[in-house]
Structure 1
Amino acid sequence: MYLKLGILAFAGLGAGAVIAAGIFAFLAIIGVFPRLIGVTHTAEHVILYETLLILGGTWGNLADFYSVAFPFPGKFVLAVCGTAVGIFVGCLVMSLAETLKALPILNRRIGLAVGLQYVILAVAAGKAFGSAVYFLRGFG
């Protein structure tokens, strides 16, 4: 019985490690992290970025396994974490779109000469508004 549980635990942890490594490799390949480092001009802190990426991935995996109840400022912590995740997803989407050259194609198709930044801002504002309605109305 213990052998069966040990093999099952080893297989589950191994599969999780492979999937996590694949996700981080995907994010690195499409250029999310190098682009953020380049935009913020913080290349001298690469070791800090790597450490925080590893800690964030580990913390996210542990948070999936265990329910952690935050004390008094629980909603505040949830709002800060939600905002951070939203910013990260936005960076991921924009990096992926830029990798696929989707924005220049959109720009040519709709004949937009100037103002692409306003289109991006409108998409982001619509996403934020839709998310706020979704969570404030109790759907999530």
Structure 2
Amino acid sequence: MFGEIGRIACLETAVGAWQLPWWQTTALGFLGLSAGGVVAAGVFAFLAIIGVFPRLMGKTGTKRILLYETLIILGGILGNVSDLYEIPVRVGGNVALGVFGLASGIFVGCLVMSLAETLKALPVINRRIRLAVGLQYVILSVALGKLVGSLVYFMKGMCM
């Protein structure tokens, strides 16, 4: 029932959780939902801070910002639910796949442009904090940390 990932005991499957006492199952459920909520809030906050949502709202010229925000939240929730429960989508075939790919590409393009604008702000930050040398090393260390973390994640088989 229990496996080991990086010397951390974990359940091999979610089905194994039902073999635990009710209080442990409840605690695991609460912990999982809390952690998921924090991560989701962080992702949405990151996307909002770098300007993806305001950029999309500005480009489309929408007047219904509350509806736009509601649909973004519902999209995140439905995406998580479909990923969690592995719900198959059997509508539209290749046409639906093409539309999804186009929408994903547009979103990634907006994300990249927002990140590029954020990188334009780095020289301003550099002047504000008076970092004379080494900003490129800060950026490089962040990138290398992400690279090493990804390599460890995939090489240790934690992505299953």
Report the TM-score when normalising by structure 1: 0.66
Corresponding residue to 1:36 among 28, 53, 56: 56
Q: Secondary structure at the match of 2:64?
A: helix
Aligned position for 1:27: 47
Asked whether the 8 Å contact 2:55–2:110 carries over to 1, the reply is no
Relative contact order, higher structure (CA 8 A, sep 6+) = 1
Q: Unaligned 5+ residue runs, structure 1? A: 103-140
Gaps of 5+ in 2: 1-20, 122-160
- Partner amino acid, structure 2, of 1:15: A
What is the aligned residue count? 101
- Asked if residue 14 in structure 1 is aligned to residue 34 in structure 2, the reply is yes
Higher relative strand content: 2
Say whether 1:53 aligns with 2:72: yes
Q: 1:83 aligns with which of 77, 82, 102?
A: 102
Q: For the residues of structure 2 that align with 1:64 and 1:50, how far apart are their CA atoms?
A: 21
Q: Which has the higher helix share?
A: 1
TM-superposed deviation, 1:8? 0.4
* RMSD after superposition: 1.6
TM-score under structure 2 normalisation?
0.58
Q: Take 2:56 and 2:96, find their aligned partners in 1: how far apart are those partners?
A: 24
